[in-house]
Amino acid sequence: MSSVRQQKISRLIHKELGNILQVRTNNYGGLVTVTQVRVSPDLGVAKVYVSIFPGDSEVIFEKVKEDIFEIRKEFATITRHQLRRTPEFIFYLDDSNDYLENIENLLKD
């Protein structure tokens, strides 16, 4: 069960990281969307689930993981007046859209 504070931080991370990733990933050739954020009870770790559309999602995901320190620094700059401590980000590839597309293709046949 998430506390109100966790939910607020989660929404803030979702919004700001979405904007940061949208600008950064224009160079990668794909659209990266933050689908879900889960924050630990101590607000020190944020699990960020991203969905990548069109292109090779594994390659783009690796580029995002390589830029994690720059992304965190940019996020810290934006939220410096809202958060005392910037959480550590752990990115996960959300493949639920691929799963749904696969199910749709199976049902069409």
Q: What is the pLDDT of residues 64-102, one digit of tens each?
A: 889 899 999 999 999 999 988 999 999 998 877 667 777
Q: What is the mean pLDDT of residues 4-20?
A: 93
Q: What is 6-18 written as a DSSP string?
A: HHHHHHHHHHHHH
**What pLDDT does 1 receive?**
60
* pLDDT given at position 55: 66
Q: What is the pLDDT of residue 91?
A: 94
- pTM attached to this predicted model: 0.83
The CA distance from 15 to 9, in Å, is 10
Query: What is the C-alpha to C-alpha distance for residues 27 and 16, in angstroms, rounded to an integer?
Result: 19
Distance between CA atoms of 6 and 12, rounded to whole angstroms? Answer: 10
- What are the tens digits of pLDDT across the range 36-64? 999 999 999 999 999 888 767 788 888 88
- Model pLDDT, residue 104: 81
Per DSSP, the residues of 45-94 read EEEEEEEEESS-HHHHHHHHHHTHHHHHHHHHHHTTTT-SSPPEEEEEE-
What domains can be seen in the chain, in order of their start residue? 4-108 (3.30.300.20)
Identity of the amino acid at 95: D
